[in-house]
C-alpha cells in the first residue's frame, strides 16, 4: 500500500513527465513516468501516460504492455483502450486495434473521432484480407509490359532531359525541381527505378567494401522522406562523388512527405556512381509498411500506382547489409536470435527468394531488431522482432572479427548513440523527426583508417506539408 508521501512524490514525477512530453522529449518523459511507477505501481494514469510516450518513440510493444496494465488497474480507462488501439494499428495488428476502437465507441458513443478511426480500421482489415486473398507466390515483374523507350516526354517539359545514362546535370536539375515542388516526368521515374533495380539486384546480400586512400565514406541513418534535411546533410558534408562515398542505411521513405523525392535522388546517385553509393534496405522499404505509412499514397498522388509497384520491386532487390573494411557490419535493424548466426549466413541469404521480410527469420531480424541495456535477449519493444543485449553484441563481434555493428532504425535525441561498450552504434538522420520530436540528426564519416567521426545537425525549414500527408487514413496521421 503506497503511503500518502509516496503518492505525492509519484504525482510530482508524473507532472515532470507530462512537462517533458509537452516539450517533445519522449525519453525523459518515459524516465519520469517509470520513476513514478516505481513509487506507486497502482495508478493507471502512470502506465497510460507512459504508453503514449512509447507510441511517440515507436516502442509500440511497450505501449501495448503499458496500456494493458492500465486496463488491468482500471478496466474503464478509455485512454488506455485508445492508446492500445493506436499502438496495435502501428504494428499492423489491425484486428486487435479494431476490437479496442469498438470498446471506445461503445463507452463514448458521441465520440466522432473514435467512430472515424473504427471505420478506417475496419477498412484496413478488409484491405489486408483482400490483398492476402489475391496474393500469388511468384508475381510477375511490375516492369512487364512497360515499354519505357516508347514513352514520349512533351516538348514543353521544363527540366533537363535524361538519355540512356544518368548525368550530374540531371541530378542537379532534379534537386532544384524537387525543392520547387515539381516532379519528374514519369518516363524518367521508370528509367531511374529500373536502372537501380537492375544494379542492386546483382549486388550481394551483404556488400563488402573498403575505404580507399584519400577518400571517405559517410554513413547515414533513417531519412524518412525528410528531403530538405537530406539536402542539409549534403550541404554540410559534401555531395556524393568518387572521392566521397555514401551509404544510406535504410528507411528512406514513409512518414515524411517527400519520400518519392528522396528515393529518386538516392537512386539517381546510385545509378550515376554504383561503386561509390550504397543503399541498405530498411524495414520501411517493405510493402506492408508503405501501404500504411504513406509511401504508397504518395506514389499514387504524385505519379501512379505502377510507380509504387516498381519501387516495391526495387526495394525487395536492395542489399540487407554492408561490411565496411571488414570491421563494421552496417545493417538497418540489428542482431540475431541465434548466437551461431555469422557473416557467412548473411552472405548466403538469398533475399530474392523472399521479397518481404515476414514475421520471423534472418531478414526480419536484420530489419527489425533493437539493442537493449540488459544482457541476453528480450521481447521487442516494438512488438516485432526482438532486443539484444551487450553480451550478444560482444559475442557476435568477437566471432566475426568485427570492431562494431552500425545500425539505424531508432530515433536518438542527439542523432546517434554509442552503446554496448562501443560495439553497437545507432545513427539516425531525420532531425526533428516527423516535426514532433526534438531530436538532432547525425551522420558518420569514415576515412581509410576506419576511425568513426560523428557529426550532428539540426532540422531545416521545409514547405508547410505535414508528415504523413499521404497516409491513406488518419489512423497513421495522428501518430
The 10s digit of each residue's pLDDT in 133-177 is 766 567 789 999 999 999 999 999 999 999 999 999 999 999 999
Give the closest residue to 419 by CA, choosing from 407, 429, 435, 436: 407
Which residues sit opposite 452 in a β-bridge? 446
Q: Is the pLDDT of residue 4 over 90?
A: no
At 77, list the grid cell.
480507462
Q: Is the pLDDT of residue 478 over 50?
A: no
| Alpha helices (H) along 40-167 | 44-56, 60-73, 78-90, 94-107, 112-134
Over the range 75-86, which residues count as b (16 or more CB within 10 Å of their CB) and which as e? eebbbbbbbbbb
- Find the mean pLDDT for residues 304-317: 97
- Find the mean pLDDT for residues 199-204: 98
Q: Is the pLDDT of residue 130 over 80?
A: no
Please state, rounded to an integer, the average pLDDT across all residues of the chain: 94
Question: Please, is 469 exposed, middle or buried when counting C-beta atoms within 10 Å of its C-beta (0-12, 13-18, 19+)?
Answer: middle
What's the pLDDT at 423? 98
Three-state DSSP at 235 gives: helix
* CATH architecture group of domain 148-477: 4-Layer Sandwich (3.60)
Strands (E), 108-261: 206-209, 216-220, 244-249
Q: Is the pLDDT of residue 436 over 70?
A: yes
Cβ contact 407:425 at 8 Å: yes
Quick check: is 284 catalytic?
yes
What's the pLDDT at 134? 64
Question: Please, is 291 exposed, middle or buried when counting C-beta atoms within 10 Å of its C-beta (0-12, 13-18, 19+)?
Answer: buried
Cα–Cα distance for residue pair 179/97, rounded to 1 Å: 38
What's the pLDDT at 73? 97
Strand order in the sheet with 441-446: 277-280, 244-249, 216-220, 441-446, 452-457
Q: Which of 284, 332, 409, 420 is catalytic?
A: 284
Q: Dihedrals φ, ψ of 341, to 5°?
A: -60, 135
What's the pLDDT at 361? 93
- Same CATH fold assignment for domains 4-134 and 148-477: no
Which residues sit opposite 247 in a β-bridge? 219, 278
What's the pLDDT at 300? 97
What's the pLDDT at 1? 56
Could you say which of 3.90.1170.50, 1.25.40.10, 1.20.120.80, 3.40.50.2300 is the CATH number of the domain covering 4-134?
A: 1.25.40.10
Three-state DSSP at 280 gives: strand
| CA diameter of the chain | 79
What's the pLDDT at 138? 72
Cα–Cα distance for residue pair 55/11, rounded to 1 Å: 22
Cβ contact 292:92 at 8 Å: yes
- Find the mean pLDDT for residues 216-236: 98
Cβ contact 70:84 at 8 Å: no
| Torsion angle (degrees, nearest 10) of CA 379, 384, 389, 391 | 100
Instruction: Parse the chain into domains and list their residue ranges.
Output: 4-134, 148-477
Q: Is the pLDDT of residue 199 over 60?
A: yes
Strands (E), 160-215: 206-209
Amino acid at each position: 500500500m503506497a503511503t500518502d508521501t509516496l503518492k505525492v512524490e509519484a504525482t510530482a514525477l508524473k507532472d515532470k513527465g507530462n512537462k517533458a512530453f509537452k516539450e517533445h522529449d519522449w525519453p525523459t518523459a518515459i524516465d519520469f513516468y517509470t520513476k513514478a511507477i516505481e513509487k506507486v505501481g497502482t495508478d493507471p494514469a502512470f502506465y497510460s501516460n507512459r504508453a503514449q510516450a512509447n507510441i511517440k518513440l515507436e516502442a509500440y510493444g511497450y505501449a501495448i504492455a503499458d496500456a494493458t496494465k492500465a486496463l488491468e488497474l482500471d478496466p474503464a480507462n478509455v485512454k488506455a483502450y485508445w492508446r492500445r488501439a493506436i499502438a496495435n494499428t502501428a504494428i499492423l495488428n489491425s484486428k486487435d486495434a479494431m476490437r479496442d476502437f469498438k470498446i471506445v465507441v461503445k463507452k463514448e458513443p458521441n465520440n466522432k473521432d473514435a467512430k472515424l478511426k473504427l471505420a478506417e480500421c475496419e477498412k484496413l482489415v478488409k484491405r489486408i484480407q483482400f490483398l492476402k486473398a489475391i496474393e500469388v507466390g511468384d508475381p510477375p515483374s511490375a516492369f512487364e509490359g512497360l515499354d519505357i523507350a516508347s514513352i514520349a516526354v512533351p516538348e514543353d517539359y521544363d527540366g533537363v532531359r535524361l538519355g540512356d545514362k544518368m548525368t550530374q546535370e540531371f541530378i542537379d536539375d532534379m534537386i532544384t525541381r524537387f525543392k520547387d515542388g515539381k516532379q519528374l516526368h514519369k518516363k524518367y521515374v521508370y528509367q531511374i527505378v529500373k536502372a537501380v533495380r537492375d544494379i542492386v539486384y546483382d549486388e550481394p546480400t551483404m556488400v563488402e567494401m573498403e575505404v580507399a586512400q584519400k577518400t571517405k565514406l559517410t554513413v547515414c541513418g533513417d531519412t524518412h522522406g525528410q528531403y530538405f534535411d537530406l539536402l542539409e546533410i549534403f550541404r554540410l558534408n559534401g555531395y556524393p562523388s568518387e572521392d566521397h562515398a555514401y551509404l544510406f542505411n535504410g528507411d528512406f521513405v514513409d512518414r515524411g512527405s517527400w519520400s518519392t523525392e528522396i528515393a529518386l535522388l538516392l537512386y539517381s546517385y546510385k545509378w550515376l556512381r554504383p561503386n561509390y553509393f550504397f543503399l541498405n534496405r530498411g524495414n520501411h522499404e517493405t510493402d506492408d509498411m508503405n501501404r500504411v505509412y504513406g509511401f504508397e499514397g504518395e506514389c499514387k498522388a504524385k505519379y501512379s500506382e505502377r510507380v509504387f509497384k516498381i519501387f516495391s520491386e526495387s526495394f525487395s532487390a536492395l542489399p540487407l547489409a554492408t561490411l565496411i573494411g571488414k570491421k563494421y557490419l552496417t545493417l538497418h535493424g540489428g542482431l540475431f536470435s541465434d548466437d551461431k548466426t555469422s557473416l557467412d549466413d548473411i552472405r548466403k541469404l538469398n533475399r530474392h527468394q523472399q521479397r518481404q521480410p515476414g514475421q520471423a527469420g534472418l531478414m526480419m531480424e536484420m530489419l527489425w531488431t533493437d539493442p537493449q541495456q540488459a544482457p541476453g535477449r528480450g521481447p521487442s519493444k516494438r512488438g516485432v522482432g526482438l532486443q539484444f543485449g551487450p553480451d550478444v553484441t560482444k559475442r557476435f563481434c568477437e566471432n566475426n572479427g568485427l570492431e562494431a555493428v552500425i545500425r539505424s532504425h531508432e530515433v536518438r535525441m542527439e542523432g546517434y548513440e554509442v552503446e554496448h561498450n562501443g560495439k553497437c552504434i545507432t545513427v539516425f538522420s531525420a532531425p526533428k523527426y516527423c516535426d514532433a520530436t526534438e531530436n538532432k540528426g547525425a551522420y558518420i564519416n569514415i576515412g581509410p583508417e576506419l576511425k568513426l567521426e560523428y557529426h550532428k545537425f539540426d532540422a531545416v525549414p521545409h514547405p508547410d506539408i505535414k508528415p504523413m500527408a499521404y497516409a491513406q487514413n488518419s489512423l497513421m496521421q495522428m501518430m
